[in-house]
A = this chain, B = another copy of it.
Amino acid sequence: MPDILHKVGIKAPPEDAFKALGALEGMAGWWTKDTTGESKPGGVIHFRFGDRGFIDMKVLDLDPGKRVLWEVIDGPGAWIGTKVMFDLVEDGDFTTVLFKHQGWKEAGEFMHHCTTKWGLFLMSLRSFVESGSGAPYPDDVHVSYNGD
């Protein structure tokens, strides 16, 4: 099954990147401001994107400074059952984020869209970790002319 892959380097230690991925206020700083729920193994996080939709993630793994792994339990049909993983690799004072959204059933147009959009959200993550200022929904960078 096809996966979405990304890699972004962050000028910060893994602990800082982990905060932005493992804590609700971190996720709200780069993905969507409307983030609620419980970020702990077995917990469910609710990501809301206004009238653009929503995603509910179950936390499968939360390994401080190293890995965050979510499973999509509700949201867009093509996302349900897929997994989203962030692996953090320390490199001196820097961190490499290896991202994988795995388990897509079909490499269709929506997967094309989500690939580009994930890349921009990861740039938002980098900016948030490095400077405290990201571009989460509703201030996200659009990749379509209809506002997505």
Interface, chain A (partner B; CB < 8 A): 2-11, 94, 96, 98-100, 107, 109, 111-113, 115-116, 119-120, 122-123, 141-146
B112 near A119: Cβ-Cβ < 8 Å: no
Residues of B within 8 A of A116 (CB): 6-8, 119, 122-123
A143 near B123: Cβ-Cβ < 8 Å: yes
Distance, CA A109 to CA B120, complexed state (A)? 18
> Taking chain A's interface residues, is the majority helix, strand, or loop, or is none over half, making it mixed?
mixed
A11 near B145: Cβ-Cβ < 8 Å: yes
A5 near B145: Cβ-Cβ < 8 Å: no
**Nearest B-chain residue to A145, judged by Cβ:** B9
Q: Which 10 A-B pairs have the closest CB atoms?
A: A7-B112, A119-B119, A9-B145, A9-B144, A5-B112, A7-B113, A6-B116, A94-B145, A116-B119, A5-B115
